[in-house]
A and B are shown apart, each in its own frame.
Chain A
Amino acid sequence: MKSADLTRFCAGSLAGYPLRTGLMFLAMAIGVASVVILTALGEGARIYVSQQFSSLGTHLLIVIPGRSETTGGPPPLLGETPRDLTIDDAMALLRSSAVRKVAPIMIGGALVSYENRSREVFIMGSTPDLYDVRDLKIAQGRFLPKGDVDRAEAVCVLGQKLKTELFGNTSPLGRFVRIGQRRFRVIGVLTKKGQSLGMDISDVAIIPVASSSALFNQSSLFRILIQAANTDAVARAKRSVLETIRNRHDGEDDITIITQDALLSTFDRILKVLTYAVAAIAAISLTVAGILIMNIMLIAVSQRTAEIGLLKAIGAPGSQIMRIFISESAMLSLVGAAAGLIVSALGVMVIGRLFPFFPVRAPFWAPVAAVAVAVGAGLLFGWLPAKRAADFDPVLALSSR
C-alpha cells in the first residue's frame, strides 16, 4: 500500500464518521492549545518579573550595611554591631573603574505638607546619580541638581502620587513644601513608575543626601546603589566594593552586596520550574485526550469489524491493518495538534490584547513539545485498538454486519 493511498484511505474513513472524528479532533486541539497557552502564561510571568527587575536599573549592585552570616562561639566582649555606611564610604566607591555611578540612599519618614494638606511619606536622601541608577523618569521639571554631595540644598523631587495628593492638578514646580521642620522648593515630579523592590516610589520625596542627613540628624545610609560600568564589570565592581569598604572599616567585611543578577536568576529559576510544572499539568490533559482517542478508536474498530474482515479477505495481512488504524490516529492527532496550535496562537493574541503590560509569549519548545506529546499519545493509544483490529479472526469479522 502506497503512503499516498494510505493517507487518502485513512482520511476517507475519518471523514466517514464526522461526529467521532470531530470529538477526537476537539480533544487533541484543546489539549495542545492548553499546553501552549499555559506555558505562554508561565513564560509571560517570568519575562514580566525580569522586566520588573530590569526597571531597577541596569547592572545594579545593592550594598546593605551588616552581614548575614552565622558566627559561633561565646559572645564577644565588645559589641559587634556593624559599622554604619556613610556618604564618604559611598563616594569612595567611585574610585574603582568598574563602578560608573553611585547613589547613596538615606531613608526616613517625615510629614510632607503644602498649605493645609500633609502626608506622612518616606523621604529619600540621595544624589543626582540615583536618576540613572534606578532608571527614573521625570514628568515635570528636573531631578536633583549636580554639585557637591555635601551641599544641603533645600530642593526636592516628588513622586507622582505624593504630588497628586498635595497639589491635585496644579503644577508644584517652584512651590515650597514643608518636610519635617524645613522648607524645600519643589523642582521636579517623577513619572508614575509603580512598585519596585517593595517600595512605592511614586509616594516619596527625594532630597539631596546632605539635606536628609541634616533633616534626620544622622549619617548612616540605608543602602548604596551602584551601577557597574557594564554587565561584565559587575563581578569586578563587587570585589572592589568589598575591598574598599573593608579598608575603610578596619578590615571588617561588614556589608552585604546583592547583585541584580543573583536576584534575577533566582526568580528566573523559580518561574522556569513553575512553567515546566504548568506545562506538565497541561500535558496530562493531552494524555486524557489520548485515552479518549483510544476509547473512540476501540469503538471505531468494533463498528468497522466487517470492513476489517473484508480487508483481510481481499489480502491485507494483520500488519497492514494495524498500519491503517495507527495512521488514522496519528493523522487525527496531527490535525488536532495543528488546530490546537492555531487556537493557542489566537488565545495568546487575545490575552496579549487584554493585558498589554503582561508579556504572554510561548517559549519555542512549548509548541514542539505539545505536538510531540499529542502525536505520541495518538500513536501510543492508537496502538491498542489497531492491534485489536489486526488480530480479528476474519471469519468472525465477516459474519458480523
Chain B
Amino acid sequence: MIRLEGIERIFEVGDETVYALSNVDLTVEQGEYVSIMGPSGSGKSTLLNILGLLDRPDKGVYHFEDIDTIHLSDKQQAHVRRHKIGFIFQFFHLVARLTAEQNVELPMILAGIDARERKQRVHEALGRMGLNERMKHRPDQLSGGQRQRVAIARSTIMNPAIILADEPTGNLDRASGMDVIRTIEDLNKQGMTVVMVTHDPELGGRTGRQVRMEDGRIIRDTSDERALA
C-alpha cells in the first residue's frame, strides 16, 4: 500500500546541512499496525510528514496505493490527503471556535459533502467515540481524552485508507492515553492501516510491527526480522 524507496530529506540549518532522513526504505501493507520509535531528532516525525504528504522528500520514490505521489501537484496531494489519509496530532489541533460536531464535520465541508449526509456521519462517528453528549461542546469544554477522541473522529470521518498518528497520547494522562490507544487499535482491528510515531516503548510494544529510527535511518524493523526468521 505504501512504498518508500531511497527517501532523503535535507534541512539547511544555518551553514549546516542536516540529513533528517537518509536513504529510507519502507513498505507498509494494508491493515498493518506500525509504530515508529526513536529518540527526538531521529527523523520519525519527518518520516510521518512525508507519509502524510505534508512534506516532500528531496530524493526518493513514494508510491501510495500505486500512485507516484512525488509528482502530484499541491491540489492533487491535497485530494489524496482528504480522501486517503487521516491525521491524529499530539496537540489535537481542534479549531477552538468550533464545537466538537463542527470540528468533525470540517473535512466533509472542505470536500463539499451534502449537509444532511454530514450531520448523519458526524453523529455516527461521535457516537462510536462515546461523545454523543458532548457534540455541542467546544474544545475548551472537553477533557484531553475527549478532545483526542474528537480528533480521531475527525481523522476517520472521510474513511481514509491510513491513519497517521503523531504522539497521540503525548499530551494525555495515562488513563485517557490508554483509552485513546484502545480506540485507535479498534480502528486497526476493523481493517484501518495505522502508523503511529511514539517515543513510549510501552505503546510501541503493543503494535504489530515496530520500526526504530536513529539519525535519519531505519535501524531496526521487526517485519524484516520476521522475514529473516
Which residues of A come within 8 Å of B, CB atoms? 1-2, 5, 9, 12-13, 15-16, 306-307, 309-320, 394-395, 398, 401
Collect the chain A residues with CB atoms within 8 Å of residue B74's CB.
317-318
Collect the chain A residues with CB atoms within 8 Å of residue B62's CB.
none
The winner among B78, B89, B96, B97 for most chain A CB atoms within 10 A is: B78
Q: Is the CB of A311 within 8 A of B55?
A: no
Q: Is the CB of B82 within 8 A of A309?
A: no
CB-defined interface of B176-206 with A at 8 Å, one 1/0 digit per residue? 0000000000000000000000000000000
Q: Is the CB of B109 within 8 A of A9?
A: yes
A316 vs B106: C-alpha distance when bound (angstroms): 10
- A–B pairs, 17, beta carbons within 8 Å: A12-B97, A13-B97, A15-B97, A16-B97, A307-B95, A314-B81, A315-B81, A315-B107, A316-B78, A317-B78, A317-B79, A318-B74, A318-B78, A394-B55, A395-B49, A395-B54, A398-B54
Q: Is the CB of A314 within 8 A of B95?
A: no
How far in angstroms is the closest Cβ of chain B from A335? 18
Collect the chain B residues with CB atoms within 8 Å of residue A306's CB.
93
By beta carbon, the residue of chain A nearest B49 is A395
By beta carbon, the residue of chain B nearest A17 is B97
By beta carbon, the residue of chain B nearest A390 is B74
Chain A contact residues: helix, strand, loop or mixed: helix
How far in angstroms is the closest Cβ of chain A from B50? 10
By beta carbon, the residue of chain A nearest B166 is A398
A263 vs B75: C-alpha distance when bound (angstroms): 64
Known: A314-B107, A401-B91. 9 other contacts (CB 8 A): A1-B112, A2-B112, A309-B93, A313-B87, A314-B106, A315-B82, A315-B83, A395-B55, A398-B93
**B111: interface (CB < 8 Å):** yes
Across the interface, A319 reaches (CB within 8 A) one of B49, B75, B115, namely B75
How far in angstroms is the closest Cβ of chain A from B82? 2
Chain B contact residues: helix, strand, loop or mixed: helix
Given contacts A319-B75, A398-B93, contact A313 B81 (CB under 8 A): yes
Collect the chain B residues with CB atoms within 8 Å of residue A319's CB.
75
CB-defined interface of B92-110 with A at 8 Å, one 1/0 digit per residue? 0101111000100011011
A312 vs B91: C-alpha distance when bound (angstroms): 16
A313 vs B93: C-alpha distance when bound (angstroms): 10
Q: Is the CB of A315 within 8 A of B79?
A: yes
How far in angstroms is the closest Cβ of chain A from B178? 24
The winner among A1, A15, A314 for most chain B CB atoms within 10 A is: A314
Collect the chain B residues with CB atoms within 8 Å of residue A310's CB.
93, 95
Q: Is the CB of B93 within 8 A of A315?
A: no
Collect the chain B residues with CB atoms within 8 Å of residue A316's CB.
78, 82, 110
**B149: interface (CB < 8 Å):** no
A1 vs B55: C-alpha distance when bound (angstroms): 24
**B44: interface (CB < 8 Å):** no
Collect the chain A residues with CB atoms within 8 Å of residue B158's CB.
315
Q: Is the CB of B110 within 8 A of A311?
A: yes
Across the interface, A315 reaches (CB within 8 A) one of B78, B91, B97, B115, namely B78
By beta carbon, the residue of chain A nearest B91 is A401
